[in-house]
Amino acid sequence: MRILIIEDNRDIAANLGDFLNDREHEVDYAYDGVTGLHLAIVNDFDAIVLDLALPGMDGLEVCRKLREEARKGTPVLMLTARDQLDDKLAGFDSGADDYLVKPFELREVEARLEVLERRGQRIKPRELKVADLEYNLETYTVRRAGKKLDLNPIGLKLLEKLMSASPAVVTRRELEHHVWGEELPDSDSLRVHIHTLRAAIDKPFKVPLINTRHGIGYCLAPPDEVSSSA
């Protein structure tokens, strides 16, 4: 299981992360809300462990933005010292899937994460939609403005990553890793495949959706969302 821990207490994060790594899970870390939200949007995690009291952006706002703005359904387990019912209700209202009060047992955290992962697999979104672009993940069918588009397998992988992260920017490295894993291609391969994807997604239509962030990567979003998130 690939897990993101968003926790500003580095000792707690390290203790939990070491335990999960020893149990053969892959763990990434963020120590503030803004970084955590970015990682949660542009990566495909199986579950997120989210603290409430975070610098930059608190856990409630992180979870709310993840659900409402980024439209990401990654399961979220909130870990916090706040044990009042109103605190728990606020967590669930923001979009959390489970809530565990500190101090906690490491084995219970793992057990709850595994339950959330299984639940997330059952309710995995079947379709991605950005503006008038739709991608059915079960049939691998892509349509824009009702017109069916033909994409090659690499184009489909790039499109899934960009649409899942929309309107956030996905770095070149993240796109390359998503498509080719650790065996990275030559430096021009991604650019060539993005060009081919643009020819299918944007060229036949008036409004472009794929945008370049020079020196960083790409984002897929309508112009109004790109300007507001830049």
Do 112 and 131 belong together in one domain? Answer: no
Do 109 and 137 belong together in one domain? Answer: no
The residue segments making up the domain with residue 136 are 127-229
Q: What integer pLDDT is reported at residue 121 of this predicted model?
A: 60
pTM of the full structure: 0.62
Q: What integer pLDDT is reported at residue 230 of this predicted model?
A: 42
> Which pairs with CB-CB distance under 8 Å and at least 24 residues apart come from 184-189?
none
Q: What integer pLDDT is reported at residue 117 of this predicted model?
A: 85
Do 187 and 87 belong together in one domain? Answer: no
- Longest alpha-carbon distance in the chain: 56
Q: What integer pLDDT is reported at residue 140 of this predicted model?
A: 86
- Which residue among 72, 107, 122 closes a domain? 122
Do 181 and 72 belong together in one domain? Answer: no
Do 160 and 176 belong together in one domain? Answer: yes
CATH number of the domain where residue 184 is located? 1.10.10.10
Do 88 and 183 belong together in one domain? Answer: no
Do 51 and 103 belong together in one domain? Answer: yes
- pLDDT means per 10 residues, the chain with 230 residues, are 95 95 95 95 90 93 88 87 82 90 91 86 72 89 93 93 92 89 78 95 94 93 67
- Which residue among 122, 151, 170 closes a domain? 122
Q: What integer pLDDT is reported at residue 120 of this predicted model?
A: 64
Residue 6 tokens, joined: 């968003």
Q: What integer pLDDT is reported at residue 156 of this predicted model?
A: 94
Do 194 and 152 belong together in one domain? Answer: yes
- Which residue among 92, 122, 152 closes a domain? 122
Do 200 and 99 belong together in one domain? Answer: no
Domain count of the fold of the chain: 2
| Cβ atoms of 101 and 81 closer than 8 Å | yes
Q: For the residues of the chain, what is the DSSP string, one character each?
A: -EEEEE-S-HHHHHHHHHHHHHTT-EEEEESSHHHHHHHHHHS--SEEEEESS-SSS-HHHHHHHHHHTS-----EEEEES--SHHHHHHHHHHT-SEEEESS--HHHHHHHHHHHHHHHHHT--SEEEETTEEEETTTTEEEETTEEE---HHHHHHHHHHHHHTTS-EEHHHHHHHHHTTS---TTHHHHHHHHHHHHHTTTSSS--EEEETTTEEEE--HHHHHHH-
